[in-house]
Structure 1
């Protein structure tokens, strides 16, 4: 049997949601060491307890560094890697100017392989161990992403994007081809190793009713899959949806009518929701994915984290690269804090770290496997240096507790703060 290893430091896990009432920090637990064996977490506790459990294991002592579950990014577009931080457009113009021209390149499997590998390496360097990604309409783009993740042993979800209108020639499929190509990809990749398929209609404006109906039928046939799309990101987008679907009660109804509302649904952005939409999303237990750097970068609006959490919504956190302006979940947490401040409801460090780990894992229905440090979960871990730069170090030195010590890293940290990353018990970054 493998001897495994032990990481010593400040080991952070969660015993509940820090949004559940009371003090946010009460939902967190701090321990001394975490033991890993055969790619799984063997336990967490004192160093002596972990050494008794794995007596021959190597101990890697990280001092006062914070050890937690790897970051989970619940909404990304890996094909937009090369166009991240493109200047000055709102959503629809941004898609036409930057996104669609770049996505047309992904019919080339070699190019898709290059970007998929680059994307996963960039995000791992920032401490992200799981992502849920849109691909392009090309099946090759999904094959490339799944192959790259499989080679790295990563737990990911992804899907071929489906769109048959309001997109350039060469970047449209059909209702039938979207169904057939997606089903073939499900059969090829879903639940192979650590891979999961996410059925992926891009958003209502780029799918005809016929295609939405076909994709709804596909999800009904494969309810074990996730389904991801976009919802109520910008007000002009909502107006466009009203023009395209004049009979719909609201934006969400354009999905609900075709069987695309469900518990395993992931609805990116969800900023400008109407009361009926909020009620139906909560009733189904669907997940809303907050993408704060994207919402500020593209000028979409301010997500109502406090209000949605208070009414019991399931919420994940995401970079939304490349509409989002950073590959880093630390920067994403900082942006979520800033948006909370603008709404008068700032988030506690415990809430931010929970959203980036267990919260996003729960949104992806993966929290039984990843997202927290507890016995039996897969050993996806990140080690954060809480003094990674002089500016962060001088602030952290004055901290009176863990939360004061970690908050400067959330607000000012980047890949320099990521000391080590482990995926499935295998170290992928760090010495």
Structure 2
């Protein structure tokens, strides 16, 4: 019993609810001298050190984390692992960027060894940046998903991934067919979904690169495996939206394309959602679908400014996405930096508590995983991050002048990056240490 228990002492913070719904005071818990107790990969207690010390068995080892803040592991609700090696590619908007950079890069993932090599770099970068769970695009090649899941399984990570389904409006070397995409996706789903901490996502790239027959096949997979995920793109770019209207004139709007083929609902996560009409917002809510807010890539590709206030008004679940490689950083702290600026440009305020909600519990809720991720409630999986208040001279100086927890959180979200991650733990085990 003693050997299976570990305890971590330091300032401890997690979100309990969306501050937009319950107010800031009721939305979080914070213990300045806290203790996080872990056994067999799960949290068994979190609270004040003085209250929990006596509950530890004799001989239990306490790891101290001074000058830190212990928070739940970050959750990235939209990212492309095959785009790791083309991150920061210069100067195009979405559709031209895909054709110029993305598609040629993804061609190489038919080679399993190449896919494995990039998957390793990708997972190392996630953990270095404190991200313990991500919803991930593979490529059209089944090998890309196999290699990703093999690497994630070895690290015992909670990861979600899927094979891209794409049978038109893309290079021949990246196209499958409606039938082959169905068969390949089904085989991968049955092989990996629920294995270890892994989960599968049915992944049509976006409406323009799938025929109606392929979208129908994706819908059939969703119907046959209702506990699997659906992951795609929605209304990222105005030219993209116009293209969808041309390709699917029978549908009322972009979201209606996915709705028509049975792709909305719980565990459906649609990235971006920048250019939405009122009917689309209402349908996202009524279908219980979720959006991934990807501020870094939206700014980098000039796509637009996400309306977080509309998501709140319509009670639509939202998580945060780095969207690497359109996004330019694996760091969700840096992504919060960009999210704050997007909201400023919209004349809205993104508070520090809302920021950390989006990066942790909000992401877990968007993925329907808040029963096991996103906080320090007893029974949840012990994925957490130790943030370093002395990570850089500038951050240390700023922290010394912070007079509240909110100021500390804001400083991390504006000045923090991978250097601010002192350690990352997955299922109670240290998987990255600075």
* TM-score normalised by L of structure 2: 0.97
1:421 to 413, 424, 430: 424
Tell whether 2:211 aligns with 1:208: yes
Aligned to 2:27: 27
Q: Deviations over 1:380-412 (max 9, x none)?
A: 010001231111121221111111123122101
Aligned to 1:6: 7
Tell whether 2:414 aligns with 1:405: no
Q: Deviations over 1:226-272 (max 9, x none)?
A: 10110000111000111111111110111111111222211100000
1:98-247 to 2 correspondences below 5 Å: 98-247=101-250
Deviation at 1:346, TM superposition (A): 1.7
Aligned to 2:60: 57
2:303 to 287, 300, 303: 300
Deviation at 1:48, TM superposition (A): 3.4
The 8 Å contact of residues 288 and 316 in structure 1, kept in 2 or not, is answered as yes
The 8 Å contact of residues 51 and 57 in structure 1, kept in 2 or not, is answered as no
Helix, strand or coil for the counterpart of 1:193? Answer: coil
Deviation at 1:169, TM superposition (A): 1.2
Deviation at 1:429, TM superposition (A): 1.5
Helix, strand or coil for the counterpart of 1:73? Answer: strand
Aligned to 1:36: 38
The 8 Å contact of residues 6 and 60 in structure 1, kept in 2 or not, is answered as yes
Deviation at 1:34, TM superposition (A): 0.7
Deviation at 1:21, TM superposition (A): 4.3
Q: Deviations over 1:46-74 (max 9, x none)?
A: 22333322232211111231101100001
Gaps of 5+ in 1: none
Query: How far apart in 2 are the matches of 1:327 and 1:232?
Result: 23
1:70-81 to 2 correspondences below 5 Å: 70-81=73-84
Query: How far apart in 2 are the matches of 1:389 and 1:328?
Result: 16
Query: How far apart in 2 are the matches of 1:266 and 1:16?
Result: 20
The 8 Å contact of residues 235 and 254 in structure 2, kept in 1 or not, is answered as yes
Tell whether 2:397 aligns with 1:363: no
The 8 Å contact of residues 250 and 277 in structure 1, kept in 2 or not, is answered as yes
The 8 Å contact of residues 17 and 357 in structure 2, kept in 1 or not, is answered as no
Q: Deviations over 1:404-425 (max 9, x none)?
A: 1231221011111101110111
Q: Deviations over 1:105-147 (max 9, x none)?
A: 0000000000011100011000000011010000000001111
Q: Deviations over 1:341-387 (max 9, x none)?
A: 11111211111011100100111111111111111111001000123
Query: How far apart in 2 are the matches of 1:299 and 1:21?
Result: 34
Query: How far apart in 2 are the matches of 1:26 and 1:386?
Result: 25
Query: How far apart in 2 are the matches of 1:46 and 1:12?
Result: 11
Helix, strand or coil for the counterpart of 2:98? Answer: helix
* TM-score normalised by L of structure 1: 0.98
Helix, strand or coil for the counterpart of 1:252? Answer: helix
Query: How far apart in 1 are the matches of 2:404 and 2:67?
Result: 12
Gaps of 5+ in 2: none
The 8 Å contact of residues 139 and 160 in structure 1, kept in 2 or not, is answered as yes
Aligned to 2:280: 277
The 8 Å contact of residues 266 and 368 in structure 2, kept in 1 or not, is answered as no
Query: How far apart in 2 are the matches of 1:51 and 1:172?
Result: 58
Query: How far apart in 2 are the matches of 1:215 and 1:27?
Result: 37
Deviation at 1:25, TM superposition (A): 4.5
Query: How far apart in 1 are the matches of 2:65 and 2:219?
Result: 48
2:320 to 310, 317, 321: 317
Deviation at 1:307, TM superposition (A): 2.0
Aligned to 2:385: 382
Helix, strand or coil for the counterpart of 1:200? Answer: strand
The 8 Å contact of residues 397 and 405 in structure 1, kept in 2 or not, is answered as no
Query: How far apart in 1 are the matches of 2:264 and 2:377?
Result: 32
Query: How far apart in 1 are the matches of 2:358 and 2:365?
Result: 9
Q: Deviations over 1:67-95 (max 9, x none)?
A: 01100001110000000010000000110
Query: How far apart in 2 are the matches of 1:247 and 1:311?
Result: 26
